[in-house]
Structure formats: structure tokens, C-alpha cells
Chain A
Amino acid sequence: MSDFNNILNHGAELSDESLKRYLEGTASEEERFMIEHQMTDEAFMNDAVEGLQQFKDPKVMQDLVNKINQDLLKHTVKKKRNKLKHRIEDQKWAMLSIIIIIILCILGYFVIHLAQNPTSPNHSIEQKK
């Protein structure tokens, strides 16, 4: 009865290593059954295995996987770096704006202060008169 469970159950997730052993023909009975079970359930796994079986040289297959992964890593790192660069550039402008606003505030303060408390000598003489 428990074997009927295999029909109801969905094939379990498998590692790349199991898949490679299957292609190589060294997978255990259990691994072989799991992979073929998943091939029955999932078109993705079925197409993948059928495609990988077309590679004549496993070295070529692994080299291509490594090359794709390296390029993927380069691309994602570059994307992250660009994002960081943009963030720093945005922050640079924000900092510059804050500094300009502070300078304008200080200048404004002095202009208002001078206008309210004039200290020029001519102005004080006129006030004494």
C-alpha cells in the first residue's frame, strides 16, 4: 500500500549533485527513482535531463555552468556597485544642499541683525543729535 504513495506524492527536490550522478550513471537506486519521478511530474526536470544528456563532454557542460555563474556573479556585483554609487552621489548632493542652506541661514541672520542694530559711526552720530 505504501508504494501507492509514490503515485500521489510529488517528486522531492533534488540537488545538482544528484542530477549529475544520474547523468553520469552512478546515482543510487533511490536517487535514480527520485529523479525519474520528478521527470514524470515536472516538464522542467524532464526537459533539463533530456537536454543535459545531449552534452557529449561533461567538461564542456561544467565549464559552461561555471562561465554562466561567473558572469551572473559579475553582473549582480556590478549592479550592486552601481546602486551604491548612485546612493553616494545622491547623498553628496543632499549634503551640499544642506551646507548651502546653513550658509544662507547664517548670512540671513547677519543681514537681519545688522538691519535691526546698525553700528555704523555715522548712524550713531545722527542718533546722538
Chain B
Amino acid sequence: MHLSINAYFNSVPKDIYAHISDQELLDKFKRDQDSIWLGILLQRYTLMLLGVCMKYLKDEEAAKDAVQQVFLKVISELQKYPVDYLKSWLYTIARNHCLMQLRDKTKLISVSEEMNLADEPSTNLSALDKEHSLILLEQSVNELNAPQKTCVTLFYLQKKSYQEIVESTGFSLLQVKSYIQNGKRNLKLLVAQKMSQS
């Protein structure tokens, strides 16, 4: 992207409601039945939703139209049903909308399944449990397969960027992302296993 991008981004008005959380805005909407609150809330996700629609539709105008249609659907649905995890729900609606547009035969993922993909409430471990799991985590890293261990170590422990990992390991970007994601998942499983054994 060009350096001149700042000029365009600076023209965007700052969110004067930034101090209000998503949940508070949703509550305000439910209480007042005023869709203005929804407008403020949804604007926070415009850029990300545009990115998601662009990824699937590969066309700028089509992506814009898709986001607008997603917003209309969201406004109408939110007046009917309560939504607990707005962010992941928005993502699911946008992705399903794009997949439907592509008339792909891919099985659509239901909202309940998708909840795990984002906004997952983090597990509240006690300080003692956390310390214990950190020790187990350190031990478990060595049990990962070589590519996962390398990528997890470079990414989480040495804080290298995706690009730097690609350059130093020779893996493709897709492989790097996959090794990090799977490595993290395997680490959590290993720690959980060890915790249940001890």
C-alpha cells in the first residue's frame, strides 16, 4: 500500500463513542429501540467486513454491496433476536452471504459452530493454575513436530512477523499460518492432558 494512505484515513471522523463498548451499544439499542446505536456499532466493523467480503468475492464493488446487504440483514435480525457474540455473528453472516453469492456448494457453518472462531471468552485460570500451565507449556513445546515447534517459537516467543518466518524457514505464508495455528491448538491439548494427569 502507498504511503499516501494516511491522507485518506485522516479524513475519517474519529469515533466519539469509542469509550462505549459494543455490549453497551447493543444494550442501548435494546433499551431505546433506536437504530442509531446500531449504526454506531456496525461502523466499527465496516473495514473488517469489507475485507472479508473482498477476500471471498474478489471484487471491490461486489464487496461493498455485500457489506451493505449484510448490514441491512443485521439491523433487521438484531431487532428480532438477542445476540451474545456480535463480532463472530457478524463474521458468520458476512461469510455465509458471500458464499451464497458465489453459489458455492460449501456447507454453511451455523452461527453456534462459528462462535468458537472468535470472541471466545478466555478461560479464567487462577494465578496458580496459570503458572502451572506455563511450566507445562514450556515442556510441551518440545513435543510438537519440527515445523510447528519452529513456527510457534519464532512467532510467540521471538515475536517474528509472518514474513520474517517465511524468509527464515522457507515455508509459504499459508504453511506458516497453519503451523502456528495447529501448533497452538496442539500445545493447549498437551497442557490440558498433562493438567488432568497431575
Residues of A within 8 A of B (CB): 1, 3-10, 16-17, 19-20, 23-26, 29, 32-33, 36-37, 39-52, 54-55, 58-69, 71-73, 75-77, 79-80, 83
Contact = CB atoms under 8 A, between A and B. Distances in A.
B189 interface: no
A44 B137 contact: no
B60 A43 contact: no
Given A3-B157, A24-B3, A80-B36, A46 B177 contact: yes
A47 B51 contact: yes
Interface residues of B, number: 69
Given A43-B91, A73-B39, A76-B35, A54 B162 contact: no
Interface of B: 1-6, 8-9, 11-12, 33-36, 38-39, 42-44, 46-56, 58, 60, 63-64, 67-68, 71-72, 75, 87-88, 90-91, 95, 117-120, 122, 125, 130, 133-135, 137-138, 152, 155-157, 159, 161-162, 177, 180-181, 184, 187-188
Contact of A17 (B9, B56, B68, B155): B9
A77 B40 CA distance: 11
A50 B95 CA distance: 14
Which of B12, B72, B135, B188 gathers the greatest number of chain A CB atoms within 10 Å? B12
Please give me the 10 A-B residue pairs with the lowest Cβ-Cβ distance, nearest first. Answer: A51-B55, A48-B51, A51-B51, A76-B39, A51-B54, A52-B51, A44-B91, A48-B48, A58-B5, A42-B118
A24 B39 contact: no
B177 A72 contact: no
Given A40-B181, A51-B52, 20 more contacts: A1-B138, A6-B159, A8-B125, A8-B133, A24-B5, A44-B48, A47-B95, A48-B47, A54-B54, A54-B58, A58-B5, A63-B8, A64-B50, A64-B60, A65-B46, A72-B42, A72-B43, A76-B35, A76-B38, A79-B35
